[in-house]
Amino acid sequence: MYRTSANPNVDEVVYSLDVVASAGKHVLGVLLALSMICLVCLGVTLFAGAPREVAGLEWLMALGAACFALPALFVHRGRARTLRIVRNGDTVRLATEGAEVVFPITCRGAQVTMHVEGIPMYEAYLQLSDATKKGIVVGETRGAIHGKIAGWFEGGVDPEVRAGASLEVRATGHLERLRDAVEEWNKAVANEHRFRQRDAED
pLDDT per residue as tens, the chain (202 positions):
454 455 566 789 999 999 998 877 777 678 788 888 888 887 877 777 666 666 667 777 888 888 888 887 877 777 789 999 999 888 999 999 989 999 999 999 999 998 878 889 899 999 999 999 999 999 999 988 888 999 999 888 899 999 889 999 989 999 999 999 999 999 999 888 787 777 666 6
Question: Residue 48 is part of which domain span?
Answer: 26-77
Shared domain check, 45 and 7: no
pLDDT value at residue 109:
94
Shared domain check, 87 and 158: yes
Shared domain check, 132 and 56: no
Q: Is it true that the peptide bond before 104 is cis, omega within 30 degrees of 0?
A: yes
Q: What is the pTM of this model?
A: 0.76
Shared domain check, 105 and 187: yes
**Backbone torsions φ then ψ of 149, nearest 5 degrees:** -80, 120
Instruction: Give CA–CA dist 167/158, Å, rounded.
Output: 17
Are 130 and 100 in contact by the 8 Å Cβ rule? The answer is no
Shared domain check, 59 and 14: no
Shared domain check, 161 and 196: yes
Instruction: Give CA–CA dist 125/115, Å, rounded.
Output: 17
Shared domain check, 106 and 12: yes
146: CB partners within 8 A, 6+ apart: 122, 172
Shared domain check, 159 and 188: yes
Shared domain check, 189 and 149: yes
Strands (E), the chain: 12-21, 80-88, 91-96, 99-102, 106-116, 119-129, 134-142, 162-169
Q: How many domains does the chain have?
A: 2
Task: Examine the fold and report which residue of 62, 77, 92 is the final residue of a domain before the chain moves on.
Answer: 77
Shared domain check, 162 and 184: yes
Task: Examine the fold and report which residue of 77, 100, 115 is the final residue of a domain before the chain moves on.
Answer: 77
Task: Examine the fold and report which residue of 37, 60, 77 is the final residue of a domain before the chain moves on.
Answer: 77
Shared domain check, 173 and 87: yes
- Gyration radius (Cα) of the chain, Å: 23
Task: Report the candidate in 186, 111, 164 with the shortest Cα–Cα distance to residue 141.
Answer: 111
Shared domain check, 123 and 52: no
152: CB partners within 8 A, 6+ apart: 109, 111, 124
Cα separations in angstroms, 178 against 15, 29, 182, 185: 9, 26, 6, 11
